[in-house]
Structure 1
């Protein structure tokens, strides 16, 4: 009897509980109906809310679903069964058993992978996005099972910090089965079809799966692999994120996603993940946008260029130790370069993001990630496009060289490496980097100049639209606002009103107290008008002692009330200059957009007629123009 059967017989292999078990039993019957499934699901509020959330997720399409029966109909019996099983396991194994295995972090990572599978499935349409969600949620369940069934032994295995085939070999040695074999057993028990389960179990090493290029299993295993990498990026510490970004861009290119499209998908995945995590009470770390993370190295390099901190940095990627040491010695001592090394393409990506080399020398044949894939990953990023890449290759056939140059290689040296030939290539590379540094320095200066010019333009634009004395928008800005409010009123049918405001006896104030005092009176009145206006109204000084207040969504009654409130505020101002109190008051003309008015100037002329009537009636009052006539309110001034 193998270890997996022992786990199953001992009850330590996860199995559904409660409603999930009832759903599973119903689905096993040949005469089962969706109505029966919906009835059982409705008895579990938590499962109901999760199915509704999945059904209404971003890429499901269609109108929002509110009823469980409709959600079950839309998702289908198979998907409901799989998702119910997945959520049942989340609920059962959310809390740890005192071992070193972090259950909450495991489920948070699995949830992020599930959401990534769902989003990528919506794009590629290889399989049902909802089924892919369930696959992503359970793709790593074998690790959880082993940690739960053998907490002490598995903690010892994890402490060795192994990965890939080494980890699986140690699991089989100590526990009798590896986590992928356990995952396959759980997926089978959950009813995940073999066509999906098999790619899930190979997603950690797609290249070893043996699926035919372009086949459905091959596309699925690549999808699961990319979703896993998205989850790795989302759950990794800040210091480790850079190693995942370029690889994700390379993977995105394989399914037709450029850096921008990939960033949009990733940001959508993170947003959905955070909503799901809140629903399931799981941790979800806030993340910056993909664009911000991907372009952080480019921003850092621009800063170094602007400050003159950039130096000669070379990244040497070579898996053969002797060749690596000889080449490193040449670069360091003879060519005066700061050399950073890596043994394979994946490690080199992390180093490249960290140190931003100007020149990259990489072997073509390496484990984990070869030189061509490494070069493609570099060129998939904004910051990697300007690096000068020299390929070390033992294959000088036309076909191999064409592949290298198509991958983004700038030059090549044949192996075994002739140091004189490499020195010559390095001189060409250094000439390129000097030209690039000069260009980037000029570009940094141009960017700084453009930023300063933009600030100056904004200041000039503000000055051109602002009255210098009062700080209010000037006549030009006021007329622009009037046109906007008029157009909005025409579109929506909401009323709009114009209030023409004139400071009473202003010439007498200037003549008696001088223009400096008159300016202070205008400033005080301007502040009062601004304080009386609503947040979205427009206030402007249109000339001399005249102001314009344009009110949106204000019928004649509301406009009159606003005008009267303003008139009283100005009347109550206490303007004292050199121990002399200067009385203040305004006359206000009000007009609304009416039938027969064809343009904003018609309403403005009507408000001006009402203002003239207010002044003629004795000032310090409000008059309304309506129906071709002016109507003045009696002043309440003493």
Structure 2
């Protein structure tokens, strides 16, 4: 990512002013105390009130606080700095020189993204909720910067057709930078940590981010994208909400939320949006509940109106009656009508036409309406047809016989138009519910198939470390118990190696998490390749690994550890113009008679690992009958 010095800019960038600027400068001094920050913050009553509100919102169920000092202690100086910057920029830029840039809408969107990040950060534990609130508030600050630096050019760019769909591309083409690049540069200049800046930089296209699936940067990038889509939903016109809600349901499923849970979270975020909007004088749109937005508006026939068009099969042996009803059903009520003069002809027509409704006369030569009804109900496809029986004899016995034969409704002749319209409305509701049911069944079948695949994947994922592809701690501990039991039954030796990458934090801090992840994968691959087929290698967590060696005594385990240590030391990972040299420390222990379970074996290897690290790292250390001994070892 570029810094401000490497981005071609002219003019003055947005920057915090007044108290916020003073807090920013003070936070750059490592000796600054909380009381000093509080003293400055108290000179701005609006900022002080917002900090206290955020601190109380961050700690539900905890005693509310009322002092700025307590708020800063609860939030942390880094979060206070970020919040002060965001609030300062909101106060300064409610309007500006760029005619095509909607400043009020920009801050409304940013506030909604901030609250979404706060909520989902709190839910997932991906980061401090209030720090993520501040980052969400500033996640699009590059757009405000471009509108401030290039008001006329940016207004023209925003007015172009589909500019929002390819905004970053147009920005790069016209202004030689884009809002994501400028956002990252500004946040870096203001002192935000790289671990938060990187996910913000890539969050509009998370699938293109260079992060390992399952890593914290990968998780944060997708959370920022989820928050962005909630921001899009909040400010979109009603006609576009269906597309947003459908995508949000998929994104919510990825973090373990079903439709009701996601809806409850989003409704809470929108409520907080309105509360914060009043506090910051930022507009917040009135939205229906998420459930209502997902439901949409299904077409419904209103009283006095005809229902939606149906496929109707009309069966009557009297040509005059048939012609009259065809006109009523087709011309007056708007249905698609096929007709038949007998029950036999109706069965043949039904196979081709597949009607949703059959309107049939009772008394016909050959196959009567009752026999036609029974014949239709005898087929699988005919069981779902809505059948209306017509009869010139309107008695209770006639109606009962029709219903027992499988008819859904009974209408007396001569047919009254209003009555027939009402009965077809009932038929429409039945067909509509049947279609919805079939859709639900299809979705359930699809969900069942997807669930079976997901369960297989989850079963594998539950036992696999996503970063390295090695078995995870859970799987490793399971294999350790199996090896311990087998060792006891066969009276064979076994050993374990606990391995730690030296100075791994320094690699992360110097080169970023993406490089740190690459280093872990390289070490994992080396471990896997050097292990025997019967050995089990797993990632315990962080930069620590475990190797379980069945039928292996301490001498053989030490030889394996030394061979592994030299292989890792020979690795050379190139980053830019730099080459990273690695080393590992190894703790080794073998099963002894005094050990009662596998945990004692791992604890012995752990103690040996700590001795190896205390002894200068890049060495192997063994634990033998409680005594620790470290290398260097003579080659054998």
Report TM bin, short chain: 0.3 to 0.5
What is the TM-score of this pair, normalised by structure 2?
Answer: 0.48
What is the TM-score of this pair, normalised by structure 1?
Answer: 0.48
